[in-house]
Amino acid sequence: MKETPINRQSFVEGADDSLFSLDNLPYGVFYRGSDSVPHIGTAIGSYVLDLTVLEQHGYLSVQGEKSVFNQKSLNHFASLGSSVWSKVRQQLQYLLSVDVTTLQHEKGLLSEVLISQSEVTMLLPFHIQGFTDFYASEYHATNVGRLFRPHDAPLLPNWKHLPVGYNGRASTVFVSGTPIPWPSGLIKASPDSSPIFSASRKLDFEMELGFFVGTGNPDGQPINVAAASEHIFGCVLLNDWSARDIQAFEYQPLGPFLAKSFGTSISPWVVPYEALAPAMKPLPQQLPRPADYLYQETSRQPDILCRVEIQPAGSNVRTILCETRAPYLYWSMEQMLAHHTVNHCIMKPGDLLGTGTISGPLQTTWGSLLELSMNGQQPIQLKDGGERTFLQVGDSIIMTGFCNIAGRQIGFSSVEGTLLSP
């Protein structure tokens, strides 16, 4: 296999100037048209390259494996390890290069494998058996602590010693575009009142980065923080919908339960960790020094700009609610994965980990309505003339993200969700 040039150009029209250039090549699972058989593909420009069909015709191969992409999910591919991911990525960059005529001259095959994204229905990229949500932004944790515990220290004593997290519900992780049910639970209308069972009155979004485990640790041995990046297959944008009034009553001492288990939305295209590696940026210095199993000389996150917009029910006008960046996080993805496995917890291919809400130092960079509206005390003015403190029935939240690498944008597909009535 020839190496692709460093300054890659694709023969696919519009790909080079898109969020899905040869420097990206995210993976996803889709239906084509009315077909109900899932295929695996990669996004290139405004098209999907069908890897299932490409493999069947012998143009894509993995040594020792007969059927990597004739699968219902990315789990098998992800289980093969980082060296295989890299080799497949090189094959795709080669085949899609403007200087390589292999596919370009096969007009019949090309029409079969190169499909407009408008003609496909995206599915969950993985069969997700486990979902863990962390709480890795110091700015967010501080803001929430001040709102929920105004008379105590905003950060609990353990927060800077370990990545705080909880086990969420994999069964309610939905692909972008899936409507989100309105949750109910026990809430307290005032501090002195008795709890009542009610539909949530403080429904919120959380702007997060999600990342999928590749090889995992089937033997249960801890994943060393120095090797953790080899176990991370790729990243998506993640919205962990949250019912703040249910959360406020139930979260002590064990954390959120009904407040978050009703729905988590993710973007459909998984951006390879390898594609994001050139965009890595150091995180703030971690003090006190983490325990040895968590210590990294330089902790990093990809410098992804994340934007959240709201489209209110009945309106065609969107309002930007916040713009934040992944390096505002305190803990790295590698530290989260190392912490998760240090007690011999088994991680499987396709397990999903969320970073927790990404918030920065300025109010415009806060990644939730809980923070932006100061728990409902400061309404947010919308472009269509309305206002919000928390979400309402029929509201849609749209999250997008990208990073810049050598003058090119590496993008994520959007993650969108609309709230159903209780």
With beta carbons less than 8 A apart as the criterion, state whether 103 and 96 touch.
yes
CB neighbour burial string for 214-233, b if at least 16 within 10 angstroms, e if fewer: bbbbeeeebbebeebbbbbb
Intra-chain end-to-end CA distance of the chain, in Å: 56
Select from 393, 343, 305 the least CA-distant residue to 217. 343
For residue 100, give the amino acid letter: V
Find the helix or strand (DSSP H, E) in which 78 lies: helix 75-79
DSSP strand E in 267-347: where? 271-272, 280-282, 300-302, 305-311, 319-325
What are the residue numbers of the active site? 140
With beta carbons less than 8 A apart as the criterion, state whether 242 and 256 touch.
yes
Tokens of 54: 């490409």
Instruction: State the chain's maximal CA–CA distance in angstroms.
Output: 74
For residue 197, give the amino acid letter: F
Alpha-carbon gap, residue 61 to 70, rounded angstroms: 12
* Phi, psi torsion values for 250, nearest 5 degrees: -95, -15
Compute CA 96 distance to the chain's CA centroid, rounded to the nearest angstrom: 26
For residue 30, give the amino acid letter: F
Residue 109: Cβ within 10 Å count = 15
Alpha-carbon gap, residue 263 to 208, rounded angstroms: 14
**According to the 3-state scheme, what is the secondary structure of 214-283?**
CCCCCCCCCCCCCCHHHHEEEEEEEEECEEHHHHHHHCCCCCCCCCCCCCEEECCCEEEHHHHHHHEEEC
